[in-house]
Structures are given as structure tokens and as C-alpha cells.
Amino acid sequence: MRHQPIPRGAAAGPSSAPPSTTPLWVATAVPGPLLVPLVGEIEADVLVIGGGIAGMTTALHLAEAEVDTVLLEAGQPGDQATGWSGGLVAPDYIRHTPETIGAALGRQRGERLTAMIGGSARAVFDLIERHQIDCDARADGFFTPAHTDGLAQQQRGYANQWASRGFDVRFIEGAEARKVFGAERYCGGLRFGDGGSLNPLGYVRGIARAARNHGARLFSESPVTRLEREGDRWIAYTPRGTVSARRVVLAANGGNAKLHPALRRTALPLHVVQFATAPLDAAQRAVILPEGGAYTDKTPYIFSARLDSQGRLISAFPMSFLLQGGKAHLREAQRRLKQHFDAMPDPQIDYIWEGVAQVNPSFLPELYDLGDGALAIQACNGRGISINTQLGIEVATAIATNRRDALSVTPRAPRPIRLHAGAALLPKLLMTMAWLSN
């Protein structure tokens, strides 16, 4: 039976308790290492600012290379975008393919970036295994479902492009796809065998623990209030101390703009609502993602789905101007689940929270060269877990070996987005239009 649209404004089903607005990961992640604020004046070879995935991965690999490293985090590891995310490990482009990226960047640079992105999920799970990180890692595949026959035909070609480069990617046809997803809406889909999902807060906490064990000095509750170049060193000022370093890596995601003037107006915010259901019952688990895996579809009004180890279904939808407030978000979460899954006629939402992804105009990962030994990582675009992990590894390698050819992304000077104040509204405007057509 095909799904029928759920009327907008349909009454929400009964629930035993209102959902928590705290991210699910706060309740389920293992505790992180005990970190303290910076007090006093210290020196380091490299200063990393930002304790999300990009920053922590950079700090860990610098420490493993025996580079004297300090990391400053404004809150706690995994605060903000990392801890608000859906935890998808997706080794895929947002807008490009292995062939089109060559036309955009040139063949050699394109192939290098494709190799990095295609291998980024494996880098995540290898890192988890090597450091025994407890983060509900599920290396059971990432999918991009096709909702039209035309997209399905394109994706068959995309699968060949990835497979010809040695990656475990294939196209699953309609009947198999409907069984894999537990949803009748799709007529096929790409399967990236190396993808999957994890608890993102547990992941970054595990990286932090490993980084500290290897000698990195990590400080929490230490927001950088000023970053200045003094002589041949960078000086970062926090409320209770300073760090002097020869080189700096800015990995504060949207916070990068506050740290260096050249990074202002270089990214756009994409606001999303994340939510998690109560654990599914046995009948639901038998038909909804019965083989595991995680997916994000290509509809204009994006839908994603994955399960955690407790059987909760975790999903998200982009925020729009027409859905405002917690009650409206809860109704929309329930509507979307009923719209996609026949087995969930009355979904119970246990957690619902807001998050934000930083989107580059190119929809590609970016490294910005700020001069004087300073780099900035700006690579979210909804693919932050895998790509930020790989970029953190590469940035650390490039610094430790003084070899920029270790980087798959060529660093460039930042360029502000024209009419940024208006452009910043564009993602939500586009999602509003998508919601109206959904």
C-alpha cells in the first residue's frame, strides 16, 4: 500500500509524557573526560580552537605525532553542532558526483577529494576501533533513497562512478529498497557500504579522551574572547588565561566568524529539528530499517532515518518560517513519521531538539588559509561527522610534517558571501517552499 499524505494540522497522538528538548545524546553518551578551564599563561606549538569533531580529531592526531598541542573549547566537548546532530556517517557528496566534481575543480583535485570523501566513513570507524570509543557505532551502511524514476536512473550511474573508484557503493532496486527502508515512498537508492551512524556526543568525548591520553592539553569552559597576532606568534585570550602558539587551527564551526574577521559572512546556517522516538516495538522493528543502516533522501523537504541500539528511530526535518514553536515541531515530527512509515500510525516522540549546520555556498568542505600559520576548517554541510574527521586527520598530518600535499582540500583565502544578511535567510526560505510542496 502506498503512503497517503498526512493532513497538515492533524492532531498529535497521545503520549505518556511531553518529549525532552535535550538532545538524546546527552542521556545516552558515556561521560567524557573531566576537563577544566584554562587558568594562567601557557605556550604551545599548535593551538586548536573548538572542541567538536574537527578540532578534537586534529588535536588527537597532532598529539599522536608528538606535536605540543593545546585545545580550547568554549563549553564542553561536543557542545553545539556536534552534540545536536543526527549522528549520520555519510561518505557522499551533497550536490556533486565523482564525475561532476572533476569538472568543478579539475580532474586531479576532484579525484583527490572524491577519494577523501569516499574513505571518510571508514576513517571514522577505524578511529573508533583503534581507540575503543564507546559511541554506539553502527557501520551498517548509508543510503540516499530515490523518490522518482528519473533520480533512480541517475543514481545507477552514480553507483558505477563510485564503484569504478574502488568504493563499496551499489544501487538497490525498488522492491529491495522498499524492504530495506520499510517505506513505500522510494523506488530505489544508493547504498554506501562503509557508512552508518553513531552517537556523536559519545564519539567526540571518546576522541577527547584519546587526545588527552596522548598528551594534548584540553581546556573546557574557555571561550576565546580575542585572537591576535603578536610578533611571530598567535595569542588567544580567554576569561582566565592566554595561550601563545606558533600555529592555529580554527575549528569552531559557526563560531569561526567571531575569531577572525576574514571568516565573517563565509557560511550560511541551516536550522533543523532533530527528534527520536520511543524504542520501537517488535512489529515495527521487523519492517522499519530491518537490516539497519541510515539514510537521507533527496527530496526538497529532506527526510532522514536511522535507529540506535535501543531501537529508537532518529530523524530530522529542516526548519521553515511556517512551523514555529515546540508544539508545531512535535506535530510535524509525528506527521512525517506517519507519512513515511505505515508501521507507525501513532508515533511517540521522546526527544526533540533544534540544531544547526553551517553550509558553504559550494556545498563542499573548505579549508581557509588565514596566513601566518593559521588554518580554518569549515566543512559541515550536513556531512560533518565523517568529513570533519578526515579533514582533522589531514590537517594534523600537514602541520606535523609541514607538507600541504597531505591535504585533499586545497586551502584558499576566504571570500565573504555577497549580501550575506539576506542570503542567511535563504536556507529557511527554501525549506519553507519545500514544506509547502511536500
For residue 367, give the 3-state DSSP assignment: strand
Closest CA to 116 of 355, 309, 395, 347: 395
Q: Which whole number is the average pLDDT over 107-125? A: 97
**Is the Cβ–Cβ distance between 69 and 216 less than 8 Å?**
yes
Q: Which whole number is the average pLDDT over 100-112? A: 95
- pTM check: above 0.85: yes
Closest CA to 409 of 393, 429, 433, 431: 393
Question: Distance (Å, rounded) from C-alpha 420 to C-alpha 268?
Answer: 8
Contacts of 349 (CB under 8 A, 6+ apart): 15, 19, 275, 276, 277, 278, 330, 333, 334
In this structure, what C-alpha cell is assigned to residue 331?
A: 506535530
Q: Does pLDDT of 2 surpass 70?
A: no
In this prediction, residue 12 carries a pLDDT of: 42
Give the CA dihedral 42, 48, 50, 53, nearest 10 degrees.
Answer: -140
In this prediction, residue 251 carries a pLDDT of: 96
Closest CA to 273 of 71, 24, 10, 95: 24
Number of helices (H), then strands (E), belonging to the chain: the values are 14, 18
Q: Does pLDDT of 430 surpass 80?
A: yes
In this prediction, residue 6 carries a pLDDT of: 36
- For the chain, the C-alpha Rg in angstroms (whole number) is 21
Give the tens place of pLDDT for each residue, 408-426. Answer: 999 999 999 999 999 889 8
Q: Which whole number is the average pLDDT over 228-242? A: 97
Residues present in the chain in total: 438
Give the CA dihedral 353, 348, 203, 296, nearest 10 degrees.
Answer: -80
In this prediction, residue 313 carries a pLDDT of: 98
Better-scored residue on pLDDT, 151 or 81: 151
- Cross-strand bridge partners of residue 376: 250, 368
In this prediction, residue 9 carries a pLDDT of: 39
In this prediction, residue 231 carries a pLDDT of: 95
For the chain, percent of residues with pLDDT exceeding 90: 85
> For 270-325, where are the alpha helices, taking DSSP H only?
282-287
User: What's the Cα-to-Cα distance from 285 to each of 172, 174, 253, 289, rounded to whole Å?
Assistant: 21, 20, 36, 7
Residue type at 109?
Answer: R
| DSSP string for residues in 18-77 | PPBSS-HHHHHSPP----B---EEEEEEEEEE--SHHHHHHHHHHHHTT--EEEE-SSST
Q: Does pLDDT of 14 surpass 70?
A: no
Q: Which whole number is the average pLDDT over 133-162? A: 97
Q: Does pLDDT of 163 surpass 90?
A: yes
Give the tens place of pLDDT for each residue, 20-45. Answer: 999 999 999 999 999 999 999 999 99
In this prediction, residue 4 carries a pLDDT of: 35
In this prediction, residue 438 carries a pLDDT of: 78
CA angle in degrees (0–180, nearest 5) for 278-281-284: 105
Pairing of strands 69-72, 217-219: parallel
For residue 316, give the 3-state DSSP assignment: strand
Give the tens place of pLDDT for each residue, 323-361. Answer: 999 999 999 999 999 999 999 999 999 999 998 888 888
Q: Does pLDDT of 380 surpass 80?
A: no
In this prediction, residue 264 carries a pLDDT of: 94
In this prediction, residue 261 carries a pLDDT of: 94
In this structure, what C-alpha cell is assigned to residue 233?
A: 606568534
Confidence of residue 1 (pLDDT cuts 50, 70, 90): very low
Confidence of residue 79 (pLDDT cuts 50, 70, 90): confident
Better-scored residue on pLDDT, 10 or 39: 39
Helix (H) or strand (E) holding 218: strand 217-219
Q: Does pLDDT of 49 surpass 60?
A: yes
Confidence of residue 16 (pLDDT cuts 50, 70, 90): low
HSE (CB half, 13 Å, CA atoms) of 379?
34
For residue 15, give the 3-state DSSP assignment: coil
